[in-house]
Each structure stands twice: as C-alpha cells, then as structure tokens.
A and B are shown apart, each in its own frame.
Chain A
Amino acid sequence: MSTSLGGITLAGPVMVAAGCGGTGRELAGYSGPAGLSAYGAFVTRTLTRDPRPGGPAPRLLESPAGLLHATGLPNPGLDLFLATELPWLVQQGARVVVSVAGRSLGEYAEIARRLASAPGVAAIEVNLSAPDAVVAGVLDAREPFHAGGAIAAVLRELPRGLPVLAKLRPDLQRVVETARVARDSGAAAVVVGNALPAAMPDGRPAGLSGPAIGPLALRCVTEVRAALPGLQVVGAGDIATAADARAHLRAGATAVQVGSALLHDPTAAARIVRELADDPAVAATSDPSSDPTPDPTSDPTYDPTSDPTSDPTPAPGDRP
C-alpha cells in the first residue's frame, strides 16, 4: 500500500509523530521485522539549530483522558542529528521527515540550508505549533502570517522536490485560515494537528495530547479538507487504533501520525500499519510486496549503548 504525500511516495499512510518515537532506535525494536521501514514515515522529534537539554522534570503528566507535556524540545541540535542519527535512520530504511523549529525566520532559513544538502531527508515538517513555544524559545506562529513567513523562509532554501509539511494546532477557530496561508506559502501538506496548549498543574505552559484531543483533531481535519480540497492533510491526535486511522482517512486525510499512543504501547503504530494493510478498503492501492506483516511479540533488537546523547555507563572495572 503506497501513499503519495506532497509529491513523495511513502510505503503507507501511517507515520510516527514527532517526539513520540525517541531517536528511532528505541522504536525500531517494537516495529516488527521490517523495523522502521514499516512506517510511511518516521517524523523526528523537533530539532533546533542548537542543542537543547530540554526542560525540568516532570515533563509529562497524566491528566484525565490526556497526557500533558512540557518537554522543552530536548534534542542534540541539528548538526549532531545530521551527523549521527539521520544516517542510522536512513540505513534502517526509514522515510525520514525532519521536524524543525526555529527562533526566528533567519534561523528557519539557516536550518533549511543545512537540511537541503543532507542526504536521506524525505520531507521537512515545520513545527509551527509547539504548545510551549514561548518557553522553548521558538517562534510561536499564533498568527497565520507567522506560519506563512516560516514556511516561505524554509522553502526558499530547499531544492525542488523536498516537500514542507506545516504542523498546525487543532484549533478550529484558526486552523482553516492558517492552513490556507501555509498552502499559499508553499506547504505541500498540513499536519492537523499538534497538541493543544494547556498548563501543567504548576502553571508551566504545556501541551495536551491523547484521547482528549482526538475528536477535536478529526473535526479540524474535516473542516480543512472541506475548505481547501486541494490541500493534502495529515491527521494526528489520538490515533491509537486502526479505526481511528480509518476515521481520519475517511475524513479526507492522506495519511495519519501516531503519537501518544506509542507512549502507552510502543507497538501501536506497527499494529495499525498491519491492520490497515489487511483492510481491502484502505489497501486499494496496495503493493503486496511491501506488506511487512510485523509480529508485535517478535524479538526487537535494540542497542542501548548507541544513543549519542546518552551517558556511557561502563562496567565497574572500566575506571581509567
């Protein structure tokens, strides 16, 4: 089953959402025999130009029907990502969509210039809706023209054929308007949507994801499709089962992103891939050779020593 998104071909409509797949290495073992190539695309956690340690703990909390998160966009910075994580992802056969956020239009342009020449980047997702943008110090595209500016700044630096996805808030008041500006600025598709802005119990800005936002996201997908029928939409927000994915595809989404569900069940996205592949209604354009039929209980291989941001903790005998 292949999916065409923004002019590129994906193995299927199920993508891993930004920030919910670790560095990819942690998820690979739960993805079945095809590993990360099982997914339509792997969207990285949001990368910034400079390394960011992330915010203080607690970074995630349960709330009724949702997860609150204020991670502060921890990431190793674009250069280290390009040098270490990206080649590994590509070698694993992942279709890599790099999620990025910048502090200014100039920084967006700089980020795009570095990505333009990086081999193996399938698309760029501009995170215009970080729910804790102010704290994270990135551009908060509250107004549609902010979003348009960032997308244009990125696109100017990219070669043709490298599509830009704009990740928006599932906020019904603004989503159609922002999607229109994103389209007019050159975005190949919009991702609807990110977490909704919320607060941690201590008042820190946070995002709310999970079951709480599922119906809101679906409504936003429906409205954007109705208002802008020519614009491809990627549905995101509590996609936890194949039924959720089908609901978004029926509403007109070209693809879906699985996010918080992976934090509860790391095999969720691989299971949805498998169930959709078995579904004749979804698999109408299916390519049988690409069906990985992953087994959720298979032996994941996983190398805990190879995370470049991790602290090597050698055996006690290894003191220098």
Chain B
Amino acid sequence: MSPTAPVPPATQPGRQSPPQGPVHTTAEVLATKRVGAYQHLTLLAPGVAERFRPGTFLAASVGTLGDHLLGRRALWIHQVRPVGGHGLALQVVVEPVGRGTGWLAGLRPGARLPVTGPLGRPFALPKEPVATVLVGEGYAAAPLFPLAERLRERGCAVSLVVGAADEPRLLSALEARRSARSVVVVTGDGSVGVRGRVGDVVPETLRRAGAEVVYAAGPAATLHAVALAAEEHGAWSQVALEQPLTCATGLCHGCPVPVVGEDGVARTARACVDGPVLRGDRVRWDDLDLDLDRRPGPDRDLPGPVGGAW
C-alpha cells in the first residue's frame, strides 16, 4: 500500500474492508520520546497498523535473551500515522511500572521486538450519529483519541473526559482539545483541571452532552463507575478493560472476566479475545477482582486505594 494512504475507516461503506485479524511480526522502534511520565514509542510493525481499529491493542515480547519474560505485555495502540518512506507507523504510550514496561521504555530507535496485533475486540461504533462521551484515565486514554476521530467522521458529537493521578500522567490534554467538542480534565492531585476522581465528573458530563454512548478506558474501578453512570443515565457503555494477560492471544485462558451473556447466563469471558472492550452492563463487576489492577513500581505509590480511586 502507498505510504501516504489514509487509514480507511473500518466500516465506511464503499471502501474495501481492511485486512482482518492479528499478525505476529517483528516491530522496529522508529522513535521514542518522553512526554511527562510516559514514553511514547513509534513502531513500524508491518501489517498491524493496516488492521488497527480503536480499542485494539498490541502484545509485545519483552526482555533480551537470557532474561526473557515469558508473558507478553499489552499496549494500547494510540495512533496510526503514515511516516515518510515507511508506510504506516503506530504509536504506543508506555508507563514504566515494572520490568517489561521499563524495558520497553528504554528501547532505542532501531531496536526490534516481536509483536502481535492488533488484538482483541475494538470499540463498537454507533450506527447513527449520536452524542458520545469518551472517558480515559492515565495512559489508557490512548485508544480514545483515534476513537474520537472515527466518531467525528460519522458525525457523532464527542465530549472527552481525560484524567490522571497528576499532570505528568495526563495524556495529551492539548490533543484532546482538538479532537472533542468539550473536554473535562480531572487530576487526582488537582495539578490541572478539576481535582478528584474521573468517575465523579462522568454523570454530569453525560447529562450535559445528552450522551447515548459512553466509551471508557482506564482502571477497572473507573470503568465500573462509568458503567454505573451510563446505566443511570440510560446510555450504552463500552469499556476497555485491562486485566493481566499472559499470552494476550486467546490461547491460555488465563484472563478470566466475569460477564453475563445476552441470555442472562453468567459466563467467564477471556479479557484478551472476548474483550478488551466489553459492554459495561455485561461485566459482573462485583465478581471482578479489582485488586488485580494493582501494578507495582515506585510510580504506583499514589495516595489512596488502587484503581483510580485516589
């Protein structure tokens, strides 16, 4: 494909549908840049960018020979952009919290690593041009920016809520203002925007936007709050749930998410292939172990309990 070709919207009528399914390939780091608390990596991963849809993610193999970490590390795909002479490149946002993410954050341009993607079910797009609210917390706001673009292409009004523990963890607030009709910024320490929890501002934002669909990505506790707010408001919720993944490809059954099926029967879904995006009203939140969301590392020593409840 031509390097400058725009990413075809996945379901735009009259266009050829993009190739489907994940690919396993070797990615090359084209660029790496520190922005606040995060490392933004630009990767060339043949075949992955072409298949991207917002809400899908990438699984990376991390570590060098000898200290190979056997599980894979999941990263939201943040952006897909043509890069001169290279075709489509993708951007991921890494918060170094442990061995794998620390290793990823330290990669230099030219480094190569095995990746698989795009993985998982993406955000489902509404058929009609309805009002939407997008809620993203920390690095997990990453998939919401390309989602906002797709929604706007469909004539949907987009309001954004972006939150983080503090300013260095606030993802692209500037970019947010470009991609949405209204933006609410929330930080745990009040360093920018409203001080508080992301979940606190969601009900009011839904009301003001007259939202019919709310999309969210962030810690499970935030997603739960969003799902509840959506239910109360009478909106649909689509939540991008992060659970610890081992294979990230559906092979190991190691990522159980308690859900309830359309038939009302309780089931266990796999976060990586049945998710990561699930309907908020389908997740059995009370049976989901929110503590799993606790990630280690000095950066994680935030005041208060885990899961966005700072």
Contact = CB atoms under 8 A, between A and B. Distances in A.
A20 interface: yes
A264 interface: yes
Interface string B179-207: 00000000000000000000000000000
B81 to A, nearest CB: 21
B114 interface: yes
Contacts of B255: 57, 59
B280 to A, nearest CB: 10
Contacts of B24: 30, 265-267, 296-297
A309 interface: yes
Contact of B125 (A29, A264, A298, A315): A315
Interface in B227-280: 236, 238, 243-244, 246-247, 249-256, 259-262, 267-270, 273-274, 277-279
Interface residues of B, number: 56
Interface stretch (B31-39, B65-73, B89-97, B142-150): B65-73
Given A260-B70, A315-B125, A316-B236, A56 B256 contact: yes
B69 A62 contact: yes
Contact of B22 (A62, A67, A74, A300): A300
B289 A56 contact: yes
B124 interface: yes
25 contacts: A29-B22, A30-B24, A45-B253, A59-B254, A60-B246, A61-B71, A62-B71, A71-B252, A211-B70, A263-B71, A264-B61, A266-B247, A297-B25, A298-B23, A300-B23, A307-B250, A310-B267, A310-B274, A311-B262, A311-B274, A314-B262, A315-B124, A315-B126, A316-B236, A319-B236
> Sorted from nearest, which 3 A-B pairs have the closest CB atoms?
A26-B250, A316-B236, A263-B247
Given A211-B68, A263-B70, A267-B24, 9 more contacts: A56-B256, A59-B253, A297-B47, A299-B21, A300-B21, A310-B274, A311-B269, A313-B124, A313-B279
Interface of B: 19-25, 46-47, 61, 68-72, 114, 116, 120-121, 124-128, 212-213, 236, 238, 243-244, 246-247, 249-256, 259-262, 267-270, 273-274, 277-279, 282, 289, 292
